[in-house]
């Protein structure tokens, strides 16, 4: 690509992104395509959830995974067009003589950051909410108990989705926004801790006095709970503007969002993968390899990312190609962890491939504690799963 790849990071801040070569135009094109597919996918999911539920399944009896997807769908529809607008303005600034983000023409580079993060913060919850849904199925199944506080879970999901639109400038504390702005965004961001806390407490209470077993999906769900809580708590530290100014754009932020995102996106996806793999393939997966995959992931993840908290506090900036010698030791540990974590993920390919090829036949409901309509059909599920609307048993509701 003439001019090289787009070297701005995912945030695409101008004027740096205006300097880039054609790679940036390609990135803008890719963002538009992703945005369109996200919006169309969301419309599909929302209409399906609102129109095609089984008879008797009211919204408040819906599986939580569907609830999280319903809220995620709305977040995508509301936030993706904002990003599309931002990158389109960037495109016209680059090629058609506009000055949205250039002070020389009466614009403001920081305007882009406001628009970007108005999309960017809800985006974080777009990734995290479906994860919350998966965990809300896996933990009750392996605790052999109903999910604690279903109603408050639904309200917490909706509250997190809504508040996510009111906190965007906590990514911009150092851009010179006014003191009153910093204070407002600090208080609003702290507020997110309340519904997030409710969810963690509900999961913990679901396990309380249950009958717990630790198959791979449950291990990944517990891993999620530990890592996500650490990431959430460092998020509270970052919400404090005065402290954030010390660690903004350092490895502390890198550590924070990996604890939230790897737990939120990856560990929960693995929990869901191992949970539903028997349903998808009709075979049980290799439990030993699954557990090995979990333990290697959990150990190497922490080796890779926990030291980055220290690097960030000591002042190591992110997005630098080389660093001062004082940061070398923790970086070495982090590198070892990152390679270990990366190689450990190859195991999941083996596990999935094996389950696709063969193995012990899975029954319609391989997990004795699981609830929900998907476990009433054979494994693997037949084509056109429910040709006739299924009979919905209200005692099976609430995951």
Within 300-329, which residues bind other proteins (CB under 8 A)? 310, 313-315, 317, 319-326, 328-329
Q: Which of 162, 190, 265, 296 binds other proteins (CB under 8 A)?
A: 190
Exposed (0-12), middle (13-18) or buried (19+): which is 108, by Cβ within 10 Å?
middle
Binding residues for other proteins restricted to 248-277, rule: CB under 8 A: 248-250
Distance CA 79, CA 68 (A): 16
Judged by CB under 8 A, does residue 182 bind other proteins? yes
> Interface residues for other proteins in 93-112 (CB under 8 A)?
94, 102-104, 108-110
Q: How far is the CB of 15 from other proteins (least distance, A)?
A: 5
Give 283's strand partners.
361
Largest pairwise CA distance in the chain = 68
Interacting stretch for other proteins, rule CB under 8 A, among 63-71, 115-123, 220-228, 271-279?
220-228
Contacting other proteins within 17-76 (CB under 8 A): 18-19, 21
Instruction: Give the end-to-end CA distance of the chain in Å, rounded to a whole number.
Output: 50
- When binding is defined by CB under 8 A, the residue of 47, 213, 363, 385 that contacts other proteins is 213
Distance CA 125, CA 115 (A): 17
Residue 114 engages other proteins in binding (rule: CB under 8 A): no
Closest CA to 243 of 313, 294, 194: 313
Q: How far is the CB of 351 from other proteins (least distance, A)?
A: 23
Query: Judged by CB under 8 A, which stretch of 45-53, 59-67, 195-203, 375-383 contacts other proteins?
Result: 195-203
Among the residue ranges 28-36, 43-51, 173-181, 298-306, the one whose residues contact other proteins (CB under 8 A): 173-181
**Encoded tokens for 215:** 């198959």
Among 193, 199, 198, 200, which Cα is nearest to 167's? 193
Q: Which of 76, 56, 57 is nearest to 125 (CA)?
A: 76
Which of residues 240 and 299 has its CB atom nearest to other proteins in the complex? 240
Torsion of CA 232, 238, 240, 241, to 10 degrees: -150
Applying CB under 8 A, among 57, 75, 82, 207 the residue interacting with other proteins is 207
Count of residues that interact with other proteins, criterion CB under 8 A: 93
């Amino acid at each position: 690509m003439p001019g090289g790849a787009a070297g701005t990071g995912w945030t695409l801040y101008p004027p740096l992104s205006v300097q880039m070569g054609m790679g940036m135009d390609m990135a803008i094109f890719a963002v538009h395509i992703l945005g369109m597919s996200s919006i169309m996918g969301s419309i599909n999911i929302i209409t399906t959830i609102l129109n095609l539920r089984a008879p008797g399944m009211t919204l408040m009896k819906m599986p939580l995974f569907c609830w999280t997807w319903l809220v995620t769908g709305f977040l995508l529809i509301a936030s993706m067009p904002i990003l599309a607008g931002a990158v389109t303005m960037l495109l016209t600034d680059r090629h058609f003589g506009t000055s949205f983000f250039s002070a020389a023409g009466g614009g403001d580079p920081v305007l882009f950051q406001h628009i970007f993060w108005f999309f960017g913060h809800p985006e974080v919850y777009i990734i995290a909410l479906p994860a919350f849904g998966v965990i809300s199925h896996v933990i009750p199944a392996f605790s052999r108990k109903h999910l604690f506080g279903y109603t408050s879970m639904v309200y917490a999901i909706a509250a997190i989705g809504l508040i996510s639109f009111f906190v965007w400038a906590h990514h911009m504390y150092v851009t010179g926004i006014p003191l009153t702005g910093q204070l407002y965004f600090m208080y609003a961001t702290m507020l997110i801790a309340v519904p997030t806390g409710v969810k963690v407490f509900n999961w913990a209470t679901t396990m309380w006095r249950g009958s717990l077993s630790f198959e791979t999906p449950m291990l990944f769900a517990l891993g999620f709970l530990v890592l996500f809580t650490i990431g959430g708590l460092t998020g509270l530290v970052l919400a404090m503007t005065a402290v954030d100014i010390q660690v903004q754009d350092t490895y502390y932020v890198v550590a924070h969002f990996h604890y939230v995102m790897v737990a939120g996106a990856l560990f929960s996806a693995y929990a869901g993968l191992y949970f539903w793999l028997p349903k998808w393939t009709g075979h049980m997966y290799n439990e030993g390899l699954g557990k090995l995959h979990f333990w290697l992931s959990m150990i190497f993840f922490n080796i890779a990312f926990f030291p980055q908290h220290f690097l960030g506090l000591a002042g190591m900036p992110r997005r630098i190609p080389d660093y001062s010698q004082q940061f070398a030791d923790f970086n070495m540990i982090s590198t070892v962890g990152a390679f270990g974590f990366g190689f450990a993920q190859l195991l999941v390919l083996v596990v999935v491939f094996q389950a696709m090829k063969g193995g012990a036949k899975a029954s319609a409901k391989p997990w004795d504690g699981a609830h929900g309509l998907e476990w009433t059909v054979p494994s693997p599920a037949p084509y056109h799963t429910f040709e006739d609307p299924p009979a919905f048993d209200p005692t099976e509701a609430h995951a």
